[in-house]
C-alpha cells in the first residue's frame, strides 16, 4: 500500500501519516477516510478549488494535470507549481510515497475549524 504524509500550512495541526493508501483512490478520498480535514465544496467533481493541496513528493505517480484542473487551481488561494486538486490525484503506484501539504483553509467558505 502507498504511504501518504499529510502536513499542514497551519502548524497547529499535527502531521498525519497514512500507510495503507489504496491504489485508485484519490488523495481526497484517503484524507476523508483517515479523518484529515480537507474542504471539498463541489463534491469531488473538479468544479471548484477548495480541495487544493501542494504535492511535495510523489507527483510523478499521479495522473497528469488536466486543463480543467489547472483552470480551477488558478482560482485557488496561493497556488504554486506543486498545486493540485486532491479530488483529481488518484494514487497510481501501490508502493508510492507521497507528501501532501494542505494549505491554510481558514479563508474558505464552509471551513469548519
The arithmetic mean of pLDDT across residues 31-45, rounded, is 92
Q: Would you say the C-alpha torsion 104, 4, 67, 40 has a positive or negative sign? A: negative
3-state secondary structure 36-105: CCCCCCCCCCCCCCCCEEEEEECHHHCCCCCHHHHHHHCCCCCCCCCEEEHHHCECCCCCCEEEEEECCC
Confidence of residue 94 (pLDDT cuts 50, 70, 90): very high
Query: Residue 4's pLDDT is what?
Result: 98
Q: Rounded to whole angstroms, what are the CA distances from 3 to 19, 20, 63?
A: 4, 6, 17
For 50-67, write each residue's pLDDT tens digit: 999 999 999 999 999 999
Lowest mean pLDDT among 11-15, 32-36, 104-108: 104-108
Query: Residue 54's pLDDT is what?
Result: 98
**Domain 2-102, what fold?**
Ubiquitin-like (UB roll) (3.10.20)
Amino acid at each position: 500500500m502507498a504511504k501518504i504524509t499529510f502536513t499542514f500550512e497551519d502548524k497547529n495541526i499535527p502531521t498525519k501519516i497514512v500507510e495503507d493508501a489504496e491504489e485508485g483512490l484519490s488523495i481526497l478520498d484517503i484524507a476523508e477516510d483517515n479523518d484529515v480535514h480537507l474542504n471539498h465544496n463541489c463534491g469531488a467533481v473538479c468544479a471548484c478549488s477548495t480541495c487544493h493541496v501542494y504535492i511535495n513528493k510523489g507527483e510523478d505517480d499521479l495522473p497528469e494535470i488536466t486543463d480543467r484542473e489547472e483552470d480551477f487551481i488558478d482560482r485557488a488561494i496561493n497556488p504554486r507549481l506543486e498545486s493540485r486538486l486532491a479530488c483529481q490525484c488518484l494514487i497510481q503506484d501501490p508502493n508510492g510515497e507521497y507528501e501532501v501539504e494542505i494549505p491554510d483553509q481558514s479563508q474558505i467558505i464552509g471551513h469548519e475549524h
